[in-house]
Structure formats: C-alpha cells, structure tokens
C-alpha cells in the first residue's frame, strides 16, 4: 500500500519485490530542485519517476521526535556532514522526501537582481535576468505560500535583537517564510510538527503525484550507466528505513535523467560513477559560513518559543554580511557554548535568559570542492579566505554591539580566545590581533555551485537551462547549478530555476526526450 493520501508515493514498506521502471524522466532527489521538476514535467504530461534516498515523513511522524532524534532521522550524518579544510565545518543536509526543505528554517529570499545580472555578465547565462525570473518567483512563492513572519510569533529572542538594532539605527526587518498558520513553536529545523512550514513534500510533491508521477522514498540511486553521450540506466537499492540495509533493487531506464541530489550529492554521485562530465564538476563549492553569537540577559528570553529565524538585520548586506535569527533548544545550543562541569550546568540553568543571533557571510573569495570519498560518502573540502574571516569578525562585532545595545550582560562570540565579552569596550579586542580560521566554531549552510551553469562548456558543467554540456539526456536541477554565492537563503532561487528549466524541457520535449 502506498503512503496514505498520496497513492503513488511508495516507501520501503510498500515494496515487496524488485522494481523496474521505464519512464520518460527519472529524477534523483526530491528536494527544492527535484520536487519542482517532478511537478512541472508530470503536469506537462510526461511520465516521471522520482528516487529519494530518505524516508517519507509527515507531521504525525516527526512531531514525536525530540530535536536530537531529528538529527539522526531527517538529516544526513546526524546533521554533521563535514567540509574539511583548516577547520572542519558542519554542513547540515536533509535526507527525506522534500530534501533540505523539510529541515531548513523556511526563510525565503528572491535571488538578488545584482546576482542575476552578474551571472549574465560573468557566465553568459541567458534568459535569467530579473525580468525573466519574476514570473517564476511569483509562482513558486504562491505555491509555497511565502509571507512575512507575523511579529506575534517572533518570540523574545528576535525581539531583543530588534530592540538593539533599532537602538543603533541599523536596518532590520521581518523575514519571509513559506508557512501557513505557524504557531511559533520553534521547530522549523527539526521538521515542522504542525505542517505550517510549506516544505516541498506538502505542495510540489503531492501535485506531481496527482499528475501521475511515481515517487519512491527509501530508494537510493547507486549506479548511473552511460553509453557514449546517453544515460541508459539507473540502478539502486530500496533501503529498510530502520537499518539502511538494502531489501530490494530498483532499475530505471529513463529517456531523460535529472540529477537533483543537491550541491554535495549530485557531484558526489557523478564522480562515484566515474562520470567526469566536466573539469568544473565538484569544484567552485560556495557555502554560507555562519557562526552564532549568544548573549546573556537579566530578562527572561525563552528563545525556544517563537520562530527561530524570524527576523534579520541587513545593515551590512552590501559587504556580504547578513544577520539572521537563529535559536536552538538547549540540547543543541549548550554543547557548543564552551563550558563543562559545574560551570556548564550554571550556563544551562540560565538558558532561559540566553539570546542568540546568526552571522552569515557571502563567501566571494573562499572556495571548496566535492568528490567521492571513502565510506560511501562525499569528501568535501573548503578553504575559508582571510578576507571572509575578516567579514565574519566584523559580523560578530556588530552582533555583539547590537546585543549590548539591547541590554545584554555579556556576549559569547564563538571565537576561541574571545569567548566572553563583558562590556561593549571588549568588542575592540576582536580587531586587536589576527584571528585565524581555526579560532571559529563554524557551521555552513546553502551549498551551491558544484555543477555551475554557463554557456562556455570549458567553464561550466551545464548550460543556462541545466542541460549537461556533454551528455544528451542529462540535466542537473538543484543548488549545484547556481554559479555563485547568493548572500541570501537559496530555496526560492533553486525552486524558481528548476521551474524555468522544467518548462524549457517540456517545451523542447521532442528534441530532448527521445
């Protein structure tokens, strides 16, 4: 029996034998890129099969998980996929029907005009100007219901930061989220327990299934067989969700393959299959390195109540520094706050009076790569450029000023050696000596760029519409085709590009699908 209510969405429990499929289109991955592709292509009358390695989770299932259990179930590698460089950087990636949209903060930004114009100039990308993209942004935003966060559900964590930013006259506002009837329970990144966050498994995937697409959850694509310039077959495994053991095989012989496994797993899978389709494949990894600044207050904050990423401060956005709300429950926040023993317990007992905000930098100068590694996992490298470290320090200093302006007693910077700032005067210490990358406890989000678009085959992996330059029946449609860092959260960009590219495929089906 397929998943209840979605009669063509199959999980491992529904499958009792090996699967063979011969659709028009096979899509690997069901996140922001794959889900939109599946919906548009199936809506255009094409026969579509989607393979998703992760399970199919609904609010009824993950509302029973505690946050730390969600890391184990909904994320890859317990939320700690690592990028190696001078410091290891944690890169949380989703693994579920809906991909990372199931576990992201729900923040929505359109691609900045300056970025779209830069793509045209630098990479020769056609038909992706701000005017070209406008209708796609609108349709995506309508489908996933993008609205500004209601201040009533912002919570005190967001409010104290706003108070500080307003006191300093720094530009700030409410973020837009994809949500309906959000109650501000602060669980966005652990799977929304009320289905308020409109992740793609609640809209594009059900719509695709309604159009006849068949979505296989717990289905991992292992091998991609290519002959000459043509993809012939994808073989994979149906996995037992509890153990990750293979229980059946799946074979798909599509006329067109679309890789939508994300900017880490798309290049990894292609490399693992020795499909070196471009020297640029797996290179140019862009991420948004981020740190969390926390502050202690006398007043009660209870930061876990309210939308964790509800507001932003963009006063330094032109310099590539964005401040966005972030708050996590104590079990996630306390271990990285740098205390143990009785001091750690004191910190825990004051967690209700702790506020936190995120600093995210746009990595114009840093670079990274993805290739197949050991243990059936990607090997990710990332080198943080000193210029981006300077931006990070400035962002931390500004966040600290804002917290002090809001009445904080002390600020914890997450920078080794500068952990606790007791007065605003201490902030200047951050600039007194050189701080190396190894001093940061860093996370990163929004991997992009590892199969970038462009019209010059030597400098890009896919063309302006996501078609792989050197393979006739393979497209890529996920964050990997986004050629540069955006400076903002990328889900709208990925979905909108995917919608545009899917329409291009549908319009040119006679040439592309043979």
Partner 1 sequence: MAIKELKVLDQKLYNIARAIAEAIIPAGGAFEPGANEVDAALLFDHYIDRLSRIQFRFIKYILYMIQYTPLLTKFKLFTRMSLGERIKYLQGWEESRVSSKRYIFITLKLLIMMPFYSDDRIQDAIGIHSSMGEHPECLLKV
- Catalytic hit among 177, 446, 459, 469: 446
Query: Has 459 been annotated as catalytic?
Result: no
Distance, CA of 86 to CA of 386 (rounded, Å)? 12
Residue 346, interface with partner 1 (CB under 8 A)?
A: yes
Pick the closer one to partner 1 by CB: 6 or 217: 217
For 215, the token pair is: 């979505």
Binding mask 470-509 for partner 1 (x = CB under 8 A): ----------------------------------------
- Choose the binding region for partner 1 from 17-25, 438-446, 475-483, 493-501 (rule: CB under 8 A): 438-446
Residue 159, interface with partner 1 (CB under 8 A)?
A: no
According to DSSP, the residues that pair with 279 across neighbouring strands are: none
Cβ partners under 8 Å of residue 486, min gap 6: 109, 111, 112, 115, 362, 446, 448, 493
For 401, the token pair is: 């000023």
For 329, the token pair is: 């429950």
Residues 222-281 that bind partner 1 (CB under 8 A): 244
Residue 85, interface with partner 1 (CB under 8 A)?
A: no
Please report, for residues 1, 13, 15, 107, 305, the alpha-carbon distance to residue 9 in angstroms, rounded to integers and kept in the order given.
Answer: 9, 11, 11, 27, 34
Of the chain, the end-to-end C-alpha distance in Å amounts to: 32
Binding mask 369-388 for partner 1 (x = CB under 8 A): -----xxxx-----------
- Choose the binding region for partner 1 from 73-81, 168-176, 400-408, 480-488 (rule: CB under 8 A): 73-81
Residues 8-67 that bind partner 1 (CB under 8 A): 62-67
User: For the chain, how many residues are written?
Assistant: 514
Pick the closer one to partner 1 by CB: 377 or 385: 377
Closest CB 55 distance from partner 1, rounded Å: 13
- Choose the binding region for partner 1 from 26-34, 115-123, 188-196, 467-475 (rule: CB under 8 A): 188-196
Task: Please give the DSSP secondary-structure letter assigned to residue 415.
Answer: B
For 59, the token pair is: 């609010």
Distance, CA of 356 to CA of 340 (rounded, Å)? 19
The answer to whether 45 and 24 are in contact (CB under 8 A) is no
Residue 340, interface with partner 1 (CB under 8 A)?
A: yes
Q: Which helix (H) or strand (E) holds 400?
A: helix 386-405
Please report, for residues 175, 308, 338, 463, the alpha-carbon distance to residue 278 in angstroms, rounded to integers and kept in the order given.
Answer: 38, 40, 43, 12
Which one of residues 10, 71, 137, 265 is an interface residue with partner 1 (CB under 8 A)?
Answer: 71
Cβ partners under 8 Å of residue 357, min gap 6: 157, 161, 292, 293, 313, 323, 324, 325, 326, 399, 402, 403
Closest CB 418 distance from partner 1, rounded Å: 13
Which one of residues 129, 194, 235, 383 is an interface residue with partner 1 (CB under 8 A)?
Answer: 194
Which one of residues 99, 262, 306, 487 is an interface residue with partner 1 (CB under 8 A)?
Answer: 306
> Which residues bind to partner 1, rule: CB under 8 A?
62-69, 71-72, 77-78, 80, 87-88, 152-153, 155, 183-187, 190, 193-194, 244, 302, 304-306, 329-332, 334-336, 338, 340-342, 344-346, 348-349, 351-352, 374-377, 416, 438-439, 441
Enzyme catalytic residues = 446
């Amino acid at each position: 029996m397929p998943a209840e209510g979605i009669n063509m969405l199959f999980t491992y429990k529904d499958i009792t034998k090996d699967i063979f499929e011969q659709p028009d289109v096979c899509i690997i991955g069901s996140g922001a890129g794959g889900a939109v592709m599946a919906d548009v292509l199936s809506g255009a009358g094409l026969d579509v099969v989607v393979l998703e390695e992760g399970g199919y989770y609904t609010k009824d299932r993950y509302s029973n998980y505690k946050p730390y259990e969600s890391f184990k179930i909904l994320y890859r590698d317990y939320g700690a996929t690592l990028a190696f460089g001078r410091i290891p950087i944690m890169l949380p990636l989703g693994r579920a029907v809906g991909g990372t949209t199931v576990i992201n903060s729900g923040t929505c930004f359109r691609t900045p005009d300056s970025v779209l114009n830069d793509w045209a100039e630098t990479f020769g990308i056609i038909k992706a100007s701000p005017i070209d993209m406008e209708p796609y942004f609108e349709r995506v935003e309508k489908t996933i219901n993008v609205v500004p966060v209601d201040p009533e559900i912002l919570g005190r964590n967001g409010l104290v930061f706003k108070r500080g930013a307003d006191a300093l006259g720094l530009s700030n506002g409410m973020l837009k989220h994809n949500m309906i009837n959000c109650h501000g329970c602060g669980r966005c990144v652990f799977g929304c327990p009320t289905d308020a966050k409109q992740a793609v498994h609640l809209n594009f995937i059900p719509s695709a299934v309604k159009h006849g697409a068949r979505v296989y959850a717990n289905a991992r694509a292992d091998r991609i067989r290519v002959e000459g310039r043509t993809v012939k077959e994808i073989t994979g495994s149906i996995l037992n969700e509890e153990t990750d053991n293979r229980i059946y095989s799946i074979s798909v012989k599509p006329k067109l393959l679309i890789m939508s496994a994300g900017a880490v797993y798309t290049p990894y899978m292609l490399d693992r299959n020795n499909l070196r389709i471009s020297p640029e494949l797996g290179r140019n990894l862009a991420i948004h390195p981020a740190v969390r600044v926390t502050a202690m207050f006398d007043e009660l904050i209870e930061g876990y109540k309210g939308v964790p990423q509800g507001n932003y401060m963009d006063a330094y956005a032109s310099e590539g520094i964005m401040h966005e709300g972030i708050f996590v429950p104590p079990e996630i926040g306390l271990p990285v706050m740098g205390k143990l023993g009785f001091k750690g317990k004191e910190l825990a007992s004051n967690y209700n009076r702790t506020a936190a905000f995120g600093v995210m930098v746009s990595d114009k100068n840093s670079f990274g790569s993805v290739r197949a590694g050991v243990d059936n996992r990607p090997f990710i490298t990332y080198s943080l450029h000193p210029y981006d470290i300077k931006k990070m320090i400035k962002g931390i200093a500004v966040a600290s000023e804002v917290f002090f302006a809001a009445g904080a007693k002390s600020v914890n910077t997450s920078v080794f050696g500068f952990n606790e700032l007791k007065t605003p005067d201490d902030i200047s210490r951050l600039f007194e000596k050189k701080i190396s990358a190894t001093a940061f406890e860093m996370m990163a989000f929004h991997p992009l760029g590892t199969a970038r678009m462009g019209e010059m085959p030597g400098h890009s992996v896919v063309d302006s519409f996501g078609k792989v330059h050197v393979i006739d029946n393979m497209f890529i449609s996920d964050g990997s085709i986004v050629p540069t860092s955006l400076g903002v959260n990328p889900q709208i960009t990925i979905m909108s590009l995917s919608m545009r590219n899917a329409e291009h495929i549908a319009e040119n089906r006679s040439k592309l699908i043979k």
